[in-house]
Amino acid sequence: MNHDYEQTEFSRSLLAGVFAGITATILSLVFNIYFRGIKHFTLSEIINVSTIIFILILLVSIAGMIFYLFHHYLKQGTVIFQVAAFIVTALLILGAMQVQRSIDPVLSTDFRELLLGIISITGLCTVFIIPFLFKHDYV
């Protein structure tokens, strides 16, 4: 049987979002392991392996579907999506800089740095990987 068929824009966007989410998850897990090892940071009620895996794949997959809307319905939608995703990432970084996790200032600073790293990794994957994979479907 021959199953060669042209993928729709939606399926390419969704698959690009899923792959970007998997990439962001793997990079964030590696960052999480190294950060916790270097800083000896042990708080794991909010940011842990399960939350990183489920949240990042879900969020970046949703970003892939949003990319479809931007690309399909807006002229220069890819550029607009990248700018919007960059702005959302910047706003999340600004919000994360205000987080007070604990009474202990060292724990709060370490939590903030871990959160900032994960947000940055996720934002970069969203801004660059989704449009790249959408355009280059042979990857």
Euclidean distance between CA atoms 107 and 43, whole angstroms: 8
Residue 78: inside a domain: yes
Number of independent structural domains in the chain: 1
pLDDT tens by residue, 51-78: 999 999 999 999 999 999 999 999 999 9
Residue 69: inside a domain: yes
Q: Give me the pLDDT at residue 139, please.
A: 63
Q: Give me the pLDDT at residue 16, please.
A: 95
Residue 51: inside a domain: yes
* Contact (Cβ atoms closer than 8 angstroms) between residue 60 and residue 126: yes
What torsion, rounded to 10 degrees, do the Cα atoms 135, 119, 66, 85 define?
-70
Q: Give me the pLDDT at residue 94, please.
A: 97
Residue 28: inside a domain: yes
| Residue numbers in the chain where pLDDT is lower than 70 | 1-5, 138-139
Residue 2: inside a domain: no
Indicate the burial class of 8 (C-beta count within 10 angstroms; 0-12, 13-18, 19 or more): exposed
* Contact (Cβ atoms closer than 8 angstroms) between residue 28 and residue 118: yes
Residue 3: inside a domain: no
Q: Would you give the end-to-end CA distance of the chain in angstroms? A: 23
Euclidean distance between CA atoms 52 and 56, whole angstroms: 6
Residue 4: inside a domain: no
Q: Give me the pLDDT at residue 3, please.
A: 56
Percent of residues in the chain assigned helix, strand, coil, to nearest 5: 75, 0, 25
Return the closest-CA partner of residue 126 out of 2, 34, 23: 23
Domain around 37: 9-135
Residue 33: inside a domain: yes
